[in-house]
Amino acid sequence: MKFILERSRYLAIIGVISLLIASFASFAWGTIKTLSTTLLVIQTFGKDSAITIELIEIIDIFLISTTILIFAASLYELFIGKLDMPEWMLAHDLYELKAKLSSMIVLVMAVKFLQKLIETKDGQELLQRGIATAIVSAVLIAFGYFGKKD
C-alpha cells in the first residue's frame, strides 16, 4: 500500500499535461485575437471604439494563459520534481498555489470590470458590479494577507 500511495503522486502529471494544453491553447487564442485586433486598428485607422475593449480582452486572455502556465509548473514542482524556473513562477505548497490563483483572479476581475466600465451605460448596473468586484477582491486579498504564514 505504501508503494502505491507514494507513486500515486505521479497522477498529478495528468493535471500538468492538461494545464499545459490549456495554456498553449489560450496563448494561441490570445495571439489570434492580437492579430485580429491589429487588423481592426489598421482597417479603421484606430478610430473604431471597439479597439479599446479588444485590447482589454487581449490582456485578459494573456493573464489567464499565464496563470494556467504557472499552475502547470507549480503542480509539477509540488508533486513530480524540481524545475529550473524563476521563483516567482512556482508555488512551494498548496497554500501558495491558492494565493497565486487568488491574486490572478483579482487581476482578471479588475480587467473585466474595466471592460464593463467602458461597455455599460447603466450607472446602477455598473455600481452593483463595482461593489461585487470590490467585495470579492477584498476577500481574496484578505485570504492572501491573513492566511497561512511561515
For residue range 90-133, what is the model confidence (pLDDT) as tens digits?
Answer: 888 888 888 888 888 898 888 888 888 888 888 898 899 999 99
Among 69, 73, 67, 71, smallest CA distance to 109 is for: 67
User: Where is pLDDT greater, at 141 or 38?
Assistant: 38
How wide is the angle at C-alpha 118 spanned by C-alphas 115 and 120, nearest 5°? 95
In 3D space, the residue among 97, 105, 28, 137 whose CA is nearest the CA of residue 36 turns out to be 28
The grid cell for 113 is: 470590470
Give the mean pLDDT of 11-16. Answer: 94
pTM: 0.80
**What is the Cα 34 distance to its own chain's centre?**
17
The pLDDT tens digits of the residues spanning 46-97 come to 888 788 889 988 998 999 999 999 999 999 999 998 999 988 888 888 888 8
Sign of CA dihedral 83, 85, 87, 88: negative
